[in-house]
Amino acid sequence: MTRLPPIIPRVLKWLGDRRLFGRSEERPVTVAVLGAGHGGLAMAADLARSGHRVRLWNRSRERLESVLQQGGIEFQKGSGQAVLVAPEVVTTDPASAIDQAQLLMVVVPATGHRSVAEAVAPFLRDGQVVVLNPGRTGGALEFQATLRTVGCRADVIVAEASTFLFAARTTEPGHARIYGAKKHVTFAALPATRNSEVGALLNRVYPGCFTPASSVLETSLGNIGAVFHPAIVLLNTGRIEDAAGDFEFYHRGVTPSVARMIQAVDTERCRIASALGVPHLTALDWMRVSYGIQEPDIYSALRANPGYAGIAAPTTLDHRYLTEDIPTSLVPLASLGHLAGVPTPAIRSLIELASILHGLDYLAIGRTAERLGLDRSSVEEITARAAEGSEVA
């Protein structure tokens, strides 16, 4: 009998006993959804349809134009009928967006975390909760550091999710579709001593969907997008450029050889987590817990997941699966690996390949441990900061 990793019983206990943060409350929550891309538009529509007070913000008006013109978001979930759902506020003004909001759900590429923090910092107030969906690797650390740099003194909690709750796409301007939802997503506050406050609020909008992690180190190293996205794109470069991405990303883009690279990246990620003493799931175990997929290997699991059906491949290499996941996912993983003494040849090979194809030095411009203020710290000091809020020396 295969023995489950230590984290899995904890997850299963959470799914069977949701009393940790109390029962889901019926009264609506005022939620600011910051970002109107694939994920933000879908989350805003889903929350509004569930009866919550949604305030949708995007930096540029272009992504909001269709929503404003048609009076809402044309929303489809799974195989259900499309419906028009109207957020209470649709705006490019950050002050209006977060006014009265209890929960701020940041749904932008990780490369935009810093700019969102700068935009909302002057208007944040005590007691608000900011959740990065997802934080990728080091997102909460960067967001919190940015708030301090620009002089924000409000007592806000910054947290991050390990991945985005939905598989979602904007099918056309103003139209959002959710193809599937994960059974659970881990989250952590910075510091983890405030997990219960964040969990209580998340449980009101998505009951039982978010599981508390030990710290932001666990959510950051649980970044499964870093494992899947870059490898599939980079090993399908010719196909994407020649056929403009005319194939299903997961169901056709993952071949046995691509799956072997994904497995190599995942093995390195898990070794880094072990070296830092961080609880973690392998990518295959994550598929089992998140989607209920029972397959013997990554190749079979990715191709068998019904939640990935219909998700098209990128039509260009100038896509967030590279422009976001390389600098804010793989670069920090490689940097943390160096800090922990773990070799990362598979991860670094993808970084180098993307750097050549894009004409950029991602190792120089990415989210390194140095940029997060962790480069001169011991493993113990980094762990203390994530868990208790202690400053890194």
> Which residues are tagged catalytic?
229, 325
CA–CA separation, 158 and 148 (whole Å) = 12
Rg (CA), the chain: 20
Contact assessment for residue 117 and residue 145, using Cβ atoms and an 8 Å cutoff: no
CA–CA separation, 237 and 356 (whole Å) = 13
Residue 90, strand partner residues: 56
DSSP string, 143-212: HHHHHHHTT-----EEEEESS-SEEEEEEETTEEEEEEE-S-EEEEEESGGGHHHHHHHHHHHSTTTEEE
Q: What is the enclosing helix (H) or strand (E) of 113?
A: helix 113-120
Beta strand residue intervals within 299-390, DSSP E = none
- For residue 255, the Cα-to-chain-centroid distance in whole angstroms is 25
- For residue 298, the Cα-to-chain-centroid distance in whole angstroms is 20
Strands 129-132 and 157-161: parallel
- For residue 140, the Cα-to-chain-centroid distance in whole angstroms is 11
Close Cβ partners of 131 (under 8 Å, ≥ 6 residues apart): 103, 104, 105, 106, 159, 160, 161, 187, 198, 202
Contact assessment for residue 274 and residue 280, using Cβ atoms and an 8 Å cutoff: yes
Enter the tokens of residue 186. Answer: 């881990």
